[in-house]
């Protein structure tokens, strides 16, 4: 039969070709599936989470609990195994405060704000005021403001930000490093045994005005039980003008102190006056839950995808709208998480790395849900964390970004994924905001797990930077972060597709992401993967 070879040979060629590209075909199909996610499906998660009925989803509130229940139901509805991970939070709120420094009263709210981490009831403390420069002690930039000075029981007065803001050739220039964050200053003051810490507020160093400080420090402060063991019992901010007037007529001029604080040989300076702080504290315990859904993989290792479900709740002191709906922050990001879960739940694909979908609570209160999750996980099992945060909801972007990926081999992988999806890999434009340290990817990174905040690009195809508009003076952290049915949600769809692209890259190559070099923040313990490559010294010891 003469025709047989003619038929068979092309079939054999076709079959061999198909076998070779099966993995890529499956990956390609999954990515195409993201293009077909319907607007209604994408909207549904944002619309529900940001509804007024959820009252801004603060942890420990009815709305927060509803958000937890919703994610649990959503994951189960997709056919995933879902469970709650309950944890306890301690809340502290100042009922009254009076403060005096150098014999002069400081007006609560106008000149000083803060919180007292301690039991319910009256408190009072006193200590010598010591200026500790930027309050930074790290080998990464060969910087030590403490110089082993005994600061136990002192009231530390500390600058926020880092010296790179003023001297562009040290630290990371104007990009805010972890060591510039006020949260870090408290950690370091804790290690020094200080009694209290007062952060000096200026708009350029804080990145926001006194109003923002006053608003965000006037409510309740939440802590995980593990964070309460030590640390300065009073943490607060003082206005620069007030500090300046306190120093008037004394030995020290604030500008001279500032100039000293930009030198490596800086030492803490006793300011020669005492600070007295007293007040009344209200405290309570509340319950919160992360929601965790899993798809197991054959390797025993997993990729954790995350997004926070909480937002800022409701402010009953406000006239008019009181609800912080958090539609973009973080309803849109939870929608991205849910859609990646949906794509994989429906694909029924065999996985090498398992997928854990983590809906975190209490991010806005200090990444507490993610910290709790990481504290209970074995970092050796987690190959990477892909976090979604304030995901773009607007028109298509020609770009993508992955904040934090630059520290690990995730960057190279994502460059390939972006190219495959026709997107430009762009750096994040708001590195002065320190956002990598301010969302749920950070506790993973600190535990030694390569992590990033993955997103469609900031710019739309029309060239408008909608994400920067949102963060800088837009609806971010205001009652105006509300769901808009007119959103095109192309950026959200692109973000889902990028995550699927990265997951597929990891599944098919089976590569485990590694740090490129020493990351520019302290790691809790040894990084699981070790430092694999000294790399160019891009971010430290410049």
Whole-number minimum distance, CB 534 to Zn ion, in Å? 34
- Contact range with Zn ion by CB under 5 A, out of 74-82, 321-329, 335-343, 351-359: 321-329
CA–CA gap between residue 458 and residue 427 (Å, rounded) = 10
Kindly give, in sequence order, each residue whose CB lies less than 8 Å from that of residue 220, ignoring residues fewer than 6 positions away. 91, 92, 93
Helical segments of 50-120, H only = 62-77
Binding mask 274-313 for Zn ion (x = CB under 5 A): ----------------------------------------
Closest CA to 147 of 164, 135, 156, 162: 135
Three-class SS of residue 326? coil
- Contact range with Zn ion by CB under 5 A, out of 103-111, 323-331, 444-452, 528-536: 323-331
Binding mask 454-493 for Zn ion (x = CB under 5 A): ----------------------------------------
Total residues at interface with Zn ion (CB under 5 A): 2
Whole-number minimum distance, CB 109 to Zn ion, in Å? 26
Nearer to Zn ion, 111 or 389 (CB): 389
CA–CA gap between residue 60 and residue 49 (Å, rounded) = 16
Burial call 362-386: b when 16+ CB within 10 Å, e when fewer: bbbbbbbbbbbbbeebebebbbbbb
Q: Does 111 contact Zn ion by CB under 5 A?
A: no
Whole-number minimum distance, CB 364 to Zn ion, in Å? 7
DSSP state at residue 177: P
Nearer to Zn ion, 240 or 310 (CB): 310
Nearer to Zn ion, 333 or 489 (CB): 333
Whole-number minimum distance, CB 149 to Zn ion, in Å? 37
Whole-number minimum distance, CB 44 to Zn ion, in Å? 20
Whole-number minimum distance, CB 455 to Zn ion, in Å? 12
Nearer to Zn ion, 27 or 495 (CB): 495
- Contact range with Zn ion by CB under 5 A, out of 95-103, 313-321, 330-338, 402-410: 330-338
Q: Does 145 contact Zn ion by CB under 5 A?
A: no
CA–CA gap between residue 345 and residue 273 (Å, rounded) = 63
DSSP 475-532: STTSTT----TT---HHHHHHHHHHHHHHHHHHHH-PPP-BSS--SS--SSS-TT---
- CB-based burial label for 255 (10 Å; 0-12, 13-18, 19+): exposed
Whole-number minimum distance, CB 363 to Zn ion, in Å? 6
Nearer to Zn ion, 127 or 404 (CB): 404
Nearer to Zn ion, 145 or 364 (CB): 364
Closest chain position to Zn ion (CB): 329
Whole-number minimum distance, CB 523 to Zn ion, in Å? 23
Closest CA to 507 of 15, 183, 151, 22: 22
Nearer to Zn ion, 145 or 363 (CB): 363
CA–CA gap between residue 520 and residue 532 (Å, rounded) = 15
Q: Does 330 contact Zn ion by CB under 5 A?
A: yes
- Contact range with Zn ion by CB under 5 A, out of 125-133, 249-257, 326-334, 399-407: 326-334
- Per residue, the 3-state secondary structure of 243-304, as one string, reads HHHHHCCCCCCHHHHHHHCCCCCCCCEEEEEEEEEEEEEEEEEEEEEEEEEEECCCCCCEEE
CA–CA gap between residue 391 and residue 333 (Å, rounded) = 5
Nearer to Zn ion, 247 or 339 (CB): 339
With beta carbons less than 8 A apart as the criterion, state whether 175 and 403 touch: no
Instruction: Give rounded-to-5 percent helix, strand, coil for the chain.
Output: 35, 25, 40
Q: Does 329 contact Zn ion by CB under 5 A?
A: yes
Closest CA to 458 of 409, 520, 391: 391
- Contact range with Zn ion by CB under 5 A, out of 88-96, 243-251, 324-332, 520-528: 324-332
Q: Does 440 contact Zn ion by CB under 5 A?
A: no
Nearer to Zn ion, 82 or 330 (CB): 330
Q: Which residues, listed in sequence order, are joined to residue 40 by a DSSP beta bridge?
A: none
With beta carbons less than 8 A apart as the criterion, state whether 290 and 87 touch: yes
Nearer to Zn ion, 240 or 329 (CB): 329
Nearer to Zn ion, 78 or 340 (CB): 340
Contacts with Zn ion, residue ranges (CB under 5 A)? 329-330
């Amino acid at each position: 039969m003469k025709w047989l070879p003619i038929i068979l040979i092309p079939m054999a060629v076709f079959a061999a070709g198909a076998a070779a590209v099966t993995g890529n075909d499956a990956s390609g199909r999954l990515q195409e599936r993201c293009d077909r996610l319907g607007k209604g499906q994408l909207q549904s998660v944002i619309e529900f989470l940001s509804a007024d009925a959820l009252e801004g989803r603060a942890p420990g509130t009815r709305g927060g609990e509803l958000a937890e229940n919703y994610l649990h139901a959503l994951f189960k509805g997709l056919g995933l195994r879902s469970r709650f991970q309950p944890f306890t939070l301690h809340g502290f709120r100042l009922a009254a405060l009076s403060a005096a420094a150098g014999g002069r009263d400081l007006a609560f709210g106008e000149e000083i704000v803060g919180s007292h981490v301690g039991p319910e009831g009256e408190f009072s403390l006193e200590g010598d005021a010591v200026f500790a420069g930027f309050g930074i002690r790290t080998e990464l930039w060969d910087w030590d403001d403490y110089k082993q000075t005994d600061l136990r029981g002192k009231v530390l007065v500390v600058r926020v930000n880092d010296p790179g803001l003023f001297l562009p050739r040290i630290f990371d220039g104007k990009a805010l490093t972890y060591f510039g964050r006020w949260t870090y200053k408290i950690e370091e003051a804790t290690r020094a045994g200080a009694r209290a810490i007062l952060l000096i507020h200026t708009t350029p160093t804080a990145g926001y005005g006194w109003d923002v400080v006053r608003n965000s420090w006037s409510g309740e402060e939440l802590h995980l039980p593990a964070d309460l063991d030590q640390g300065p019992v009073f943490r607060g901010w003082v206005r620069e003008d007030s500090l300046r007037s306190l120093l008037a007529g004394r030995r020290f001029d604030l500008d001279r102190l500032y100039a000293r604080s930009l030198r490596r040989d800086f030492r803490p300076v006793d300011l020669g006056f005492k600070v007295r702080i007293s007040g009344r504290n209200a405290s309570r315990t509340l319950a919160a839950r992360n929601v965790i859904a899993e798809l197991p993989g054959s390797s025993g290792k997993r990729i954790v995808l995350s997004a926070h479900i909480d937002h800022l709740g409701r402010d009953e002191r406000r006239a008019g709208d009181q609800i912080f709906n958090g539609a973009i922050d973080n309803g849109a990001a939870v929608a991205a998480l849910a859609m990646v879960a949906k794509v994989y739940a429906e694909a029924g694909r065999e996985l090498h790395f398992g997928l854990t979908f983590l809906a975190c609570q209490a991010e806005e209160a200090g990444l507490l849900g993610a910290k709790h999750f990481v504290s209970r996980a074995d970092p050796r099992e987690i190959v990477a964390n892909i976090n979604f945060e304030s995901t773009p909801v607007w028109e298509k972007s020609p770009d993508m970004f992955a904040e934090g990926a630059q520290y690990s081999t995730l960057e190279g992988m994502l460059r390939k994924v972006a190219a495959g999806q026709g997107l430009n890999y762009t750096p994040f434009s708001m590195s002065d905001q320190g956002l990598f340290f301010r969302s749920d990817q950070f506790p993973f990174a600190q535990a030694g797990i390569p992590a990033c905040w993955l997103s469609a690009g900031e710019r739309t195809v029309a060239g408008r930077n909608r994400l920067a508009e949102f963060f800088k003076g837009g609806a971010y952290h205001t009652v105006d972060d509300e769901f808009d049915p007119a959103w095109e949600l192309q950026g959200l769809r692109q973000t889902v597709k990028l995550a699927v692209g990265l997951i597929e890259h990891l599944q098919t190559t089976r590569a485990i992401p590694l740090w490129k070099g020493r990351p520019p923040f302290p790691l809790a313990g040894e990084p699981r993967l070790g430092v694999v490559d000294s790399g160019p010294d891009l971010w430290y010891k410049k």
